Structure 1
Amino acid sequence: MRPHEIEFSTFEGGVFTDLMPYQYGREVCTPGHAFGPARRSHYLFHFILAGRGTLTAADDAGASRVHELHAGEGFLIFPGQITTYVADLEDPWEYTWIEFDGAHVKTQLDRVGLSPASPVYEAQDAERCKQMVAAMRSLLDHRSASQFYLEACTYLFFDAFLASIKPHRANSASRLHSFYVDNALAYIEQNYQNDVTVEDIARNAGLNRSYFGKVFRDAMGVSPQQFLIGYRIEKACELLKLSNLSVGDVGRAVGYPNQLHFSRAFKNACGASPRAWRQEHAQR
């Protein structure tokens, strides 16, 4: 029997809004090795390199579903989802994993039909699957590399992940909602530094504010206003960490012309003033 092995690392780089890793690793499990029940704050993807195991995961209604999995497959755990996964008693699995999140992640997963009720990854393109695993391996092999290298590996992983997956069936309403939300996210990315409102975003998507708010919350898990504020604050964190701009200039660059309003919004989101946050997180 192979001994239990585990290697992992956490991402200690900056704040990246669109896509970023949180942790990544590889584990060789002993028979019956289990993790959970547990709930995650971000998306967590496992790709099975060898062996077999079982995933028990709650669907959108909270009902538990059991998935028998083997080498060459994978499974995606969603934020807030309660899961337990157990290695097979006779042929325990070895897997590699990455925990990640970002502004566009949910809409891209909706596009390929992955959901808490359908969390199993099956590859339809073997070459792209190999590229995906290679990107996951690069994160571990180069864990001391710069934050930009690790961020680039995460983009390579996610691109190959989406390109290699066998799409699950998604209904036409979900595809239409993804179109509206993609449109809104693109508008926010291009205009967050300006004086935009939720009404502006809804109007650009061609929807009234009430219906747009429901579609957006269903897709993203937060209201458009909460997302806009969060997006601006994450962009502010990038600037505070990676630039020498003054706090006032950072605020103006992310859509807060009033420095007091910016500082208040930043402290509400991050628990510290922009100046204090910069002192703690600025590049040395």
Structure 2
Amino acid sequence: MSRINITFTSETLLGQLDLNLLFFGKEECLPSHTWGPGLRDSYILHYIHSGCGIFGRGEQSHFLTAGQGFLIPPSTIVHYQANENDPWTYSWVGFNGLHAKSFMQRANLSPPYLVYDTGKDSRPHFESFYDDLLNARSLRNGDVLSQSILYRLMAELISSSKAPLPDTKPSPSKESYLNQAIGFIENNYSQKISILDIAASVGLDRTYLSSLFKIKFGVSLQTFLLEYRINRATELLRNPELSVSDISRSVGYADPFLFSKMFKKVTGSSPRNSRDKNTEDYL
């Protein structure tokens, strides 16, 4: 993962300008790289150069690709995640200022609408703003030039703004997300699924989804999946025709030794001992 973040300083008192540049950066994200849920103290505008990912606020989520972007307003809890197969590369610029909020409103970027799509004519300016800011730092008039680049970026953002992008899907309730996730587990627990797979199936950040499981069931998503598999394995142990290896594969563990280890972690006994005890109880 390649990441550069540059903090900008000037002699101007922070926050006393209409727009005040604070920092900027660029990152080539690793697959499934995640940030949040969390919040920031200033406005941060992201632009996606390549790849794709998910940006979300609360229960709303958007699938975004190259040429699109998203805004993180101050004190707004958001989360975002790079795609597992085609992770995004994005640039960002952090800013505040007396008129920062009004500029964002003119660009149709205010909660709950925090994503945007650049127009064909504006896209080159978004593609180059990081390099433009980086080059300006070495110049004698770099602070003034950097501010002008930020204003130009805002002008392009406003001119290319359209009606707010619709959500990629209706915003279901938390209960609906949980039901979808549980349904995915019930249908796929015998496969080699991960927490990322479950989160992707409902379009949520894995940390946020796990927090919903913690609130509802008192355990994390990882623990819920583990206990579901072990409970199913316990049922299968009652069938004497199935070996431990058969059962291991049937609940998503290719390695029977790992299965036995996780089974003992949950139940306190090995699969064989559990089977013997169930046989004795039955007799």
TM-score of the pair, normalised by structure 2 = 0.53
Runs (5+) with no aligned partner, structure 1: 59-63, 170-284
Structure 2 counterpart of 1:54: 54
Q: Using the alignment, how far apart are the partners of 1:91 and 1:129 within structure 2? A: 21
- What CA distance in whole angstroms lies between the structure 2 residues aligned with 1:132 and 1:167? 19
Quote how far apart the aligned CAs of 1:37 are: 2.0
Matched, 1:158 2:140: no
Shift of 1:134: 2.2
Shift in alpha-carbon separation, 1:49–1:8, aligned structure 2, 3 A: same
Local SS of the residue matching 1:137: helix
Determine which structure has more spread, i.e. the larger CA radius of gyration.
Answer: 2
Task: For 2:162 and 2:134, locate their aligned partners in 1 and report how far apart those are by CA, in whole Å.
Answer: 26
The answer on whether the counterparts of 2:39 and 2:75 sit within 8 Å (CA) in structure 1 is yes
- 1:10 & 1:51 partners in 2: Cα distance? 26
Is 2:41 aligned against 1:5? Answer: no
Partners of 1:32 and 1:101 lie apart in 2 by: 29
Q: Distance in 2 between matches of 1:141 and 1:51?
A: 25
* Aligned counterpart, 2:21: 21
Q: Could you list the runs of 5+ residues in structure 2 that have no partner in the other structure?
A: 166-283
The residue aligned with 2:112 is: 117
1:151-188: CA deviation from partner (whole Å, max 9, x where unpaired)? 1211111111211222439xxxxxxxxxxxxxxxxxxx
Tell me if the contact between 1:34 and 1:85 (Cα under 8 Å) persists in the aligned partners: yes
* Distance in 2 of aligned mates of 1:65 and 1:27: 24
Where does residue 274 of structure 2 map in the other structure? none
Tell me if the contact between 1:25 and 1:96 (Cα under 8 Å) persists in the aligned partners: yes
Within the candidate set 97, 104, 124, 2:99 is matched to 104
CA distance 1:54–1:158, change in 2 (3 Å): same
Q: Distance in 1 between matches of 2:124 and 2:143?
A: 23
Deviation string 1:115-162 (CA, Å, 9 cap, x unpaired) is: 221111112x31223123323331123333331121121111111121
Cross-structure match for 1:37 = 37
Q: Is 1:83 matched with 2:50?
A: no
Cα distance, 1:49 vs. partner? Answer: 0.4
TM-score (normalizing by structure 1): 0.53
Please say if 1:129 is aligned against 2:123.
yes
Alpha-carbon contact 1:112-1:168 (below 8 Å) kept: no
Percent identity for Structure 1 against Structure 2: 32
Number of residue pairs aligned between Structure 1 and Structure 2: 160
Letter of the structure 1 residue corresponding to residue 97 of structure 2:
G
Name the SS of the counterpart of 2:157 in structure 1. Answer: helix
Q: How does 1:84-233 map to 2 (within 5 A)?
A: 84-123=79-118, 125-145=119-139, 146-168=142-164
